[in-house]
Structure 1
């Protein structure tokens, strides 16, 4: 029987990063993955393939709607080779997953392919082509999550689908109905809207992206409507029925009236659930709560002292970069170091175009807490760089403490804000004030100038370009 200092169950961003850091710290490490490719949901059927399709569809959308204004004339009709687009997406996925496999070899991490489950707190059975058992002094559970659904919806994975199937369709839908106005539904909805599908988003709450600052929800709704996406807010879906190639969604609106929507595909995008199926956590004595999450303390340690859990299976946002931070945190904790994670400074990003990004407290949260704060806001359309590229939608909003000027939250929608949010995270990690950001030189012309201008607006309302 092979013995390891650490075994990691799950090879998503949290799992493989945890394994690498454990190996770097001198631990003999194994990683267990039930699928034939490493990388988990993010690399195989999540972050990476969705961004590949977002980029491909963005190129097509630019060619159809914006090339002419840039003086680019293309003779003949512009056509979509959807099969080739999907194939390119898969190539990106394969290259990325191969990269993780290379990192395992580089760091001398043993990879086991098969379903890992606890025999007891120190032994893990792996059922793959053959069944074997390994012994691990410490185990890190990083089994991630799966798409959630509603109890009355039967997912046939043909017409009533999740994000996994939406990434590998054989045709462009005529009318895609998206149940859920969160990150995944909006990103994939925009992909297929750009490619010519009618897209209707049905959301239970009174706004999309309800966890983000309200100004972002409002601006993103306005922009997506302009792009042709239809929204049905404050609608509670209660039935989804398929009849041949048609799917009908029935919902109650805020007046209590029952309304129906018919399309050829329904994307169920109502969040994700922790995946602990077949882990046999009880055999190790690990507690799992009523929501399916593994309970952990502030060290991400379960009630069984040698077993830790990270990522989507524990509390907090289901984000790949949050899982990575936790993977490093646990590896360093096991090694006797004293790492830290500031969960308030884990950024949240939506990769639509314009992109949406946020870190820290929303204005709604600060109001509810009775905080004394001030706000600075700057429109992207006031930037020379935005006008040059034609990406004038969006804004930057900075919230700071009224007494100390410390930045409490930064909320962005616009071109490349998925990258710009790191400036806000860095500033807030060092407890910068709005004036600190306002006094830093930002290159001209760049999108980042909007961050400086928003900081100036929060500092005695002295933005320069509005």
Structure 2
């Protein structure tokens, strides 16, 4: 029987990062993955493939709509080769997953391909994927990093052909004529935009009164406006009550906010109503680990379960289901096991929507500050006022900075525009060091850049000081 300091179940961003950090800290480490490739949902059927398709579809959209304005003439029709687009996506996925395998080898982490389940609190059984039997690993510490899977509504039958989840949407063999997206969150909007760019008529049906409902309302309003301009349709405050397939068509029935029934028809329906923790087959009860009603594992501030040598991270525990949140937790737990005293500020975990324009945010929303009774100031700057935005043609969006009215400390930053997925890190850095808007306003920002909008919004937050509006 092999014995380890740490055994990790699941090789997604949380699991493999935890493994690397454990190895760096001198802990003998093993990782268990049931699929043939490492990387979990994010690398295989989530973050990486969706961004590959977003980028490919963006290139096509640009060629069709914007090349002529830039003086680029293409003779003949511009066509989509969906097979090649999917092939490129898969190549990106394979290269990224191979990179994780390289990191496991580099850090001398033992990889076991199979289904990991608890025998007891210090032993994990690995049922080998290749059918060669079961191996038992002994571990002083165990980290559960089994991630999540797409959620569904109880009355929807997912046939994975016409009524699909994000997993199937990443490998369609044809461009839908019409696509209904149930759910106006991050995943639905990103994949909806991919197929809208490629020619599908995309209709989003959302239960809440706005899309991206957990983000600042100003971001939701602006993104709705921009995506409508791009041809997507939105039906908010609609409660879906049935989804039925009829041959190659799907009929979705919903009640609008007045209670009237509305019917939508399309050849594909993407069900994108969030994700749920995945703990099936873990046999957690054998180790005494408590799992809540919704499959979420309860942990303390050290991410320990009720069994002190067993930890859980990522999508199976409380908080946003984000790859980078899982990575932070993976590092955190490794350092806790090694006797260090790390910290995570969950308020400073950024959220991003990779549509175009991109959307990103960190800290408190305006709605949260109002609800908490915090007096605040707002500084807002439109992207259209930037020379860099006009040069690239990406003039939609803004940067909004919220500060404490008394201390000027930055409490929240909300952005929509070109490359704001990258720009949000400036805000995270500033807030990690408890910067004021004045601090950001006095930092030199290169010209011309999109980042100048952050400086201008900071100047606006400190008073009527923004230069270019």
Short-chain TM bin: over 0.9
The match for 2:209 among 206, 218, 238 is 206
Alignment partners' CA distance in 1, 2:139 and 2:338: 15
Task: Give yes or no for the alignment of 1:368 onto 2:371.
Answer: yes
Alignment partners' CA distance in 1, 2:210 and 2:435: 31
**After alignment, is 129-138 or 415-424 more displaced?**
129-138
Task: Give yes or no for the alignment of 1:234 onto 2:237.
Answer: yes
**C-alpha displacement of 1:132:** 1.1
Taking the TM superposition and a 5 Å limit, the aligned residue runs for 1:126-141 are 126-128=126-128, 129=131, 130-141=133-144
Task: Identify the residue that residue 281 of structure 1 maps to in structure 2.
Answer: 284
The match for 2:335 among 332, 335, 340 is 332
Taking the TM superposition and a 5 Å limit, the aligned residue runs for 1:294-333 are 294-333=297-336
Calculate the TM-score normalised by the size of structure 2.
Answer: 0.99
Q: Deviations over 1:150-171 (max 9, x none)?
A: 0000000000000000000010
Alignment partners' CA distance in 2, 1:322 and 1:171: 34
Task: Identify the residue that residue 122 of structure 2 maps to in structure 1.
Answer: 122
User: What's the RMSD between the two structures over aligned residues?
Assistant: 0.4
Task: Identify the residue that residue 44 of structure 1 maps to in structure 2.
Answer: 44
Runs of at least 4 residues off by over 3 Å: none
Alignment partners' CA distance in 2, 1:341 and 1:193: 38
Calculate the TM-score normalised by the size of structure 1.
Answer: 1.00
Task: Identify the residue that residue 78 of structure 2 maps to in structure 1.
Answer: 78
The match for 1:342 among 341, 345, 349 is 345
User: What secondary structure sits across from 2:69 in the alignment?
Assistant: helix
The match for 1:221 among 209, 224, 228 is 224
Taking the TM superposition and a 5 Å limit, the aligned residue runs for 1:170-181 are 170-181=173-184
Task: Give yes or no for the alignment of 1:463 onto 2:466.
Answer: yes
Task: Identify the residue that residue 21 of structure 1 maps to in structure 2.
Answer: 21
The match for 1:253 among 256, 259, 265 is 256
**C-alpha displacement of 1:426:** 0.2
Task: Identify the residue that residue 2 of structure 2 maps to in structure 1.
Answer: 2
Alignment partners' CA distance in 1, 2:466 and 2:45: 42
Task: Identify the residue that residue 400 of structure 2 maps to in structure 1.
Answer: 397
**C-alpha displacement of 1:290:** 1.4
Q: Deviations over 1:249-307 (max 9, x none)?
A: 00000010111100000000000000000001111000111121000000000000000
Task: Identify the residue that residue 11 of structure 2 maps to in structure 1.
Answer: 11
Alignment partners' CA distance in 1, 2:459 and 2:62: 33
Q: 5+ unaligned residues in a row in structure 2: which ranges?
A: none
Alignment partners' CA distance in 2, 1:106 and 1:383: 45
Task: Identify the residue that residue 380 of structure 1 maps to in structure 2.
Answer: 383
The match for 2:453 among 446, 450, 455 is 450
Task: Identify the residue that residue 90 of structure 2 maps to in structure 1.
Answer: 90
Q: 5+ unaligned residues in a row in structure 1: which ranges?
A: none
